[in-house]
Structure 1
Amino acid sequence: MNIKLTYKQRIVFYFSIIIAVFTVGIIFFEQQQVQHERAQSIERMLENNADIIHNYLLNNTDSVPFRVSAAHRMVQYMPADLRVTLIDWNGNVLYDNRLDADSMENHLKRPEIQKAIGFSAGSNVRMSASNSVRYLYYAKKYNEGYFVRVALPYDVKIHSFLHAQNSFMYFILLFFIVCVLMMLYFANRFSRSLKQLSDFSLNVKNGQPLPPSFTFSDDEVGQVSADIVENYNLLQENRRRVALEREKLLQHFQYSEEGIAIFSENRKKIYSNSHFLQYLNVLIDKPMLEIENLFSDPVFHEVVAFLDDHSRYDNTFAQRFDKSGKQFSVRVIIFDDKSFELYISDITKSEKTRLLKQEMTNNIAHELRTPVTSIRGYLETLLSMEAKDVGRMRNFLDRAYVQTIRLSELIQDISMLTKIEEASDRFEKEPVNMKQLLDELGADLNSKFNEKHSKYVVDVGADVVIYGSRTLLYSIFRNLTENAIAYGGGNIDIVVRCYMKNKEAVYFEFYDTGVGVEEKHLVRIFERFYRVNEGRTRNTGGSGLGLSIVKNAVLFHRGNIVAKNRSEGGLSFLMSFPLIPLEEDRIEED
């Protein structure tokens, strides 16, 4: 059976617990304070004894043997239950009035000695390892090279002295009883008022008119409490929803890559995320911690002018900045209540991407124009020729076919590069045996090697395995090999070797013994459509994307590649690939 407590009973019960906890806390605090003060009193007494012994030794001795005998004489005048020990700075016991000093072990590690070393004095209560008596120890360090340690047995007398008397406890308990009685009295009065309010609330809630003779009477506060709680719960639910939406908004701001700050009408900060202060300090010349100061900085004078312009027709404003090699966009949005938001966006990457795409589009159009124009010219020539001129027609058809092959390869290279950059998740990863892959490449290009009288050498162990895309790894070494065949000249060696392998990565060198390239071109050979020699590349039919595909395919595997000329002649590419798949690779594989 559940017992329902009245409002008064709950008040008495809860406040009794609070007063009881408060009373116990006061008693405990008072006990601790008294005990601490009395312990300090005993320590001061022991310190006085130690100082008396030290002064006596200082005035009557000047060497260790005399100190021991002097200490023995002095102890006779000290309290009978006082234990005195003389210890040098190395922890050796020189004298003890209770035990033979020669039989006692080194005391340097005793707690009170350790405290005395660090703080000149220290105390400790513990069982003596020498005579199995519990002591209150006090040790003090003196500049003459020794410690004086004095101790009293921690017996009933000292133990009772350290504990506070109970008179204060009785007073506090009496205070607790008085508080409870007073609380009962005021709870009765308060409860009567609430009961009267309950009747009033019920009449109002039921829509009943109050009778002229209506008077407040005693009743429970359940109904009125329920009404108040119901309204409170509705209010809290609305507040919770508002707080939840606010939290969502703040999380959006916090994780946004834009710098966002909200200001009141008088330009006081309401909120700002971390990116805003970071971008702000890039735009201005001097570091700024208080973001409200930005309105006095010359960099934002146009923003301030827009905010000050009350005749404006638009509530938005945008401005671009170039600073420290980066590009930023600053936007202002003014709300109806005159508060406003400031956005600072780092558009460097998007601008570079836009320019890169624009450049690539122009390059693609330029590259496509040549084969398409050639094919159109050949076809127009064929259409104007007589059917009996079969030889010339065959010649133009062959030329058109070569241009279609070139166009097809160009489209294939563009597709491969786009897939690596924008759809890299479509490449499946697996353990790839590099020896087998390179041997397969040699077989595929054997006819080209014979045509150029070149030699293909693979110096890679059968145990070299890379976790990655077989398609892209094959593409890396095929593009490098075809590049060497096309531009290295004839009668050359093309070598792929694994020159180092450890637990983390495998390192390859791909080189040829051909003509190499000029040093000024090395830093740009991985750029899209970059050609060392425009005329020579046109003759060989290259798209200008081969080495760019190589670079992006290596980066796809989280590797690295650099190019350099060999002192012996020819071009060399140094590559590294991680051997151990990263955690995200394992997750994708699973």
Structure 2
Amino acid sequence: MKTTYKQRLSLYFFLIFALFTIGIIVFEQSRETKFRTEALEEKLDAYTGIIQASMNKYTESPQQAIDSLSGLLPENLRMTLIDRQGNVISDNAVGKKILSENHAERPEVLQAKTNGKGSHIRTSATNNQKYLYYAKRTNNYFIRVAFPYDIQVHDFLKSDNLFLYYILVLFVITLLLINYVADRFGKSIKKLKEFALGENEPEKIQTEFPEDELGVIGRKIVDNYKQIKEREKEITLEREKLLQHVHSSGEGLCFFSADREVGLYNGLFIQYLNTITDESVSDPTILFTDTSFVGISDFLSGAVISENYYETQINKQGKHFNIRVNVFEDRSFEIIINDITKQEKTRLLKQEMTSNIAHELRTPVTSIRGFLEIALEQSVDAEAARNFLTKAHEQTIVLSELIQDMSLITKIEEAPSTFKQEDIHLEELLHSLKEDLNELLSEKNIDFQWSNMANVIVRGNRNLLYSIFRNLTDNAIRYAGRDITITVNKYNEDKDFYHFSYSDTGIGIDDERHLNRIFERFYRVNEGRTRDTGGSGLGLSIVKNAVLFHKGTIIVKNRAGGGLEFLFKLSITG
């Protein structure tokens, strides 16, 4: 059974005080016994002095000296004369019988030989009676006296028990005080134990401690515990936030200790790792041995890492990855893998578009500059100058249309929420389009018609829907040829989409390799054809972006009977 703190404390105090008390009792008893013994020995020494005085008087007869004292000394006092050789000269306990046994080796005689006097308690070999012997050395003899060790002598030598009783009472009182002190300490320790073993939610802790040093310690422990619990909650919350961030991050994240042991990581990190290593792995530490990550391994294996940041790029499986390493103060580190394929493609696309825009702007700007320079010359007549200004004006229109088309594409891609959406009747929109292009259609004898468009209502932006059909029609007017038919047909619908076909009976595109790129910005099937016919080169790109805005898709193909056919779908509900 496990003892309590109070029990152990009481036991320790009890043992200490018990040993102390026993020591005091033993010391006091021995001192009192020694004192009483010395008092009795002094009395016996006085008797030996009387005997010695009598012997000095009766020098010729020692026995007569002893007999002369029979009435003066106590009746039970045994008196013995022993010569220097240990022979008994006289002993009143045996009368005139001379003892033949030598007494030189008696303890009291041996002490007297050495110290001049000696004492001893033992049973007499002569009469088998227990005596307290006392011997004293004189010039010629050892004078030995003895009292029978009876109850009277025993009681005289026995120490007084009053002090013992006093010590025992004091011992009991002290035990009670010890128990009281131990109880006070025990209560404080018990409360600390209950506190340590309890649930101990900080807001539920109501432990009260006594107003003493242990109470101060207890309250301090509770306060520190509350602070630790609060810090634990904060750390747990921050860890949960970190876990949520790691697992929901759009980047591959993995944390490593200074010994390269894996900590937290997300699934995207493993996915990117598998793509780069071309292996199916689930252990992030493979990057320390794979040759694709040799730069990272060299950086982390440096004897002294002077920099806390390292970045590199890896191209694998047609994808571009940006990899960053951040080293923390404790030499742990994180590795971040980011798929930048889309950004890289966007960068290349922007680079290509910038080049194309510069190329497209160069022609009208150069033309405008040339026409204006010629018109400003004094040798040019008024009619020629007007002709050059007219051509410059036409080029500004081309330039304006190009800028408008570029702005429209940018707005569709980057700010689609700015376009207002409403219910649009497509048949009404086609009527409006035909009226706007009637002159151009008549000029090239083009028949523009549609079918199955009654009650077709699309939730979308009117301007963008108009631009889809306008740019497709402009494209057919410019490039399909004369005497053709343009047909718009709603050939299918489901609960989410209308499916349309836009076709012409023109010349089509002979090399079908161009069909996959026809929606790219500034792409030309025939170099110079767009400029010759006045187009910006962005019409079909606008068509594709407008269709995508309405959650649709679009493809193009050559018709079996000649011409092009565009197949696209538009969301009904927007």
Q: TM-score, normalised by structure 2?
A: 0.62
For 1:102-501, what aligned pairs fall within 5 Å after superposition?
193-195=186-188, 228-386=221-379, 389-501=381-493
Deviates more, 1:307-316 or 1:399-408: 307-316
Distance 1:579 1:554 in 2: 12
Confirm or deny: 8 A CA contact 1:439 1:458 kept in the other structure.
no
Give 2:479's aligned amino acid.
Y
Distance 2:286 2:527 in 1: 55
| Aligned partner of residue 523 in structure 1, secondary structure | helix
- Equivalent position to 2:508, from 506, 516, 521: 516
For 1:523-538, what aligned pairs fall within 5 Å after superposition?
523-538=516-531
| Superimposed CA distance per residue, residues 382-432 of structure 1 (whole angstroms, 9 cap, x where no aligned partner) | 111347x11101110110011000000000000010011111111122221
Distance 2:210 2:382 in 1: 122
| Aligned partner of residue 349 in structure 2, secondary structure | helix
Moved over 4 A (4+): 189-192, 196-199, 216-219, 221-228
Confirm or deny: 8 A CA contact 1:195 1:218 kept in the other structure.
no
| Aligned partner of residue 517 in structure 1, secondary structure | coil
Distance 1:191 1:293 in 2: 62
| 1:566 partnered with 2:556 | no
Give 1:442's aligned amino acid.
K
Confirm or deny: 8 A CA contact 2:524 2:530 kept in the other structure.
yes
- 1:84 counterpart residue number: none
Instruction: Call closer, same or farther: CA 1:297–1:190 in 2, change over 3 Å.
Output: farther
**1:443: how far off?**
1.0
**1:355: how far off?**
0.6
| Aligned partner of residue 270 in structure 2, secondary structure | helix
Distance 2:314 2:183 in 1: 67
Instruction: Call closer, same or farther: CA 1:307–1:491 in 2, change over 3 Å.
Output: same
Confirm or deny: 8 A CA contact 1:263 1:340 kept in the other structure.
yes
| Number of residue pairs aligned between Structure 1 and Structure 2 | 378
Give 1:474's aligned amino acid.
Y
Instruction: Call closer, same or farther: CA 1:423–1:490 in 2, change over 3 Å.
Output: same
Larger Rg: 2
Confirm or deny: 8 A CA contact 1:435 1:460 kept in the other structure.
no
Confirm or deny: 8 A CA contact 2:376 2:385 kept in the other structure.
no
**1:358: how far off?**
0.7
**1:227: how far off?**
5.0
**1:496: how far off?**
1.0
Distance 2:449 2:550 in 1: 24
**1:286: how far off?**
2.1
- 1:3 counterpart residue number: none
- 1:13 counterpart residue number: none
| Superimposed CA distance per residue, residues 23-66 of structure 1 (whole angstroms, 9 cap, x where no aligned partner) | xxxxxxxxxxxxxxxxxxxxxxxxxxxxxxxxxxxxxxxxxxxx
Q: Tell me the C-alpha RMSD between the 2 structures.
A: 2.7
- 1:15 counterpart residue number: none
**1:192: how far off?**
6.3
Distance 1:541 1:302 in 2: 53
Confirm or deny: 8 A CA contact 1:318 1:332 kept in the other structure.
yes
Distance 2:210 2:450 in 1: 105
Instruction: Call closer, same or farther: CA 1:379–1:512 in 2, change over 3 Å.
Output: same
| Aligned partner of residue 518 in structure 2, secondary structure | coil
| Aligned partner of residue 355 in structure 2, secondary structure | helix
| Aligned partner of residue 509 in structure 1, secondary structure | strand
Deviates more, 1:292-301 or 1:372-381: 292-301
Distance 1:299 1:535 in 2: 46
Confirm or deny: 8 A CA contact 1:197 1:224 kept in the other structure.
no
Distance 1:555 1:433 in 2: 19
**1:310: how far off?**
1.6
**1:504: how far off?**
2.7
| Aligned partner of residue 562 in structure 2, secondary structure | coil
Distance 1:217 1:332 in 2: 56
Structure 2: tracts of 5 or more residues without a match: 1-181, 193-208
Confirm or deny: 8 A CA contact 2:490 2:500 kept in the other structure.
yes
Give 1:247's aligned amino acid.
E
- 2:64 counterpart residue number: none
Give 1:515's aligned amino acid.
I
- 2:175 counterpart residue number: none
Distance 2:188 2:324 in 1: 60
Instruction: Call closer, same or farther: CA 1:237–1:190 in 2, change over 3 Å.
Output: farther
Instruction: Call closer, same or farther: CA 1:335–1:228 in 2, change over 3 Å.
Output: closer
- 1:75 counterpart residue number: none
Confirm or deny: 8 A CA contact 1:198 1:224 kept in the other structure.
no
Confirm or deny: 8 A CA contact 1:198 1:223 kept in the other structure.
no
Instruction: Call closer, same or farther: CA 1:190–1:431 in 2, change over 3 Å.
Output: farther
Give 1:579's aligned amino acid.
I
Give 2:284's aligned amino acid.
I
Distance 2:183 2:243 in 1: 44
**1:569: how far off?**
1.4
Confirm or deny: 8 A CA contact 1:559 1:576 kept in the other structure.
yes
| Superimposed CA distance per residue, residues 296-339 of structure 1 (whole angstroms, 9 cap, x where no aligned partner) | 22222221111111244322222211111101112222222111
**1:228: how far off?**
4.3
- 1:143 counterpart residue number: none
| Aligned partner of residue 229 in structure 2, secondary structure | helix
**1:222: how far off?**
9.3
Confirm or deny: 8 A CA contact 1:433 1:463 kept in the other structure.
yes
| Superimposed CA distance per residue, residues 196-255 of structure 1 (whole angstroms, 9 cap, x where no aligned partner) | 7889xxxxxxxxxxxxxxxx9899x99877654433222222222233233323322222
| Aligned partner of residue 521 in structure 2, secondary structure | coil
Distance 2:256 2:491 in 1: 60
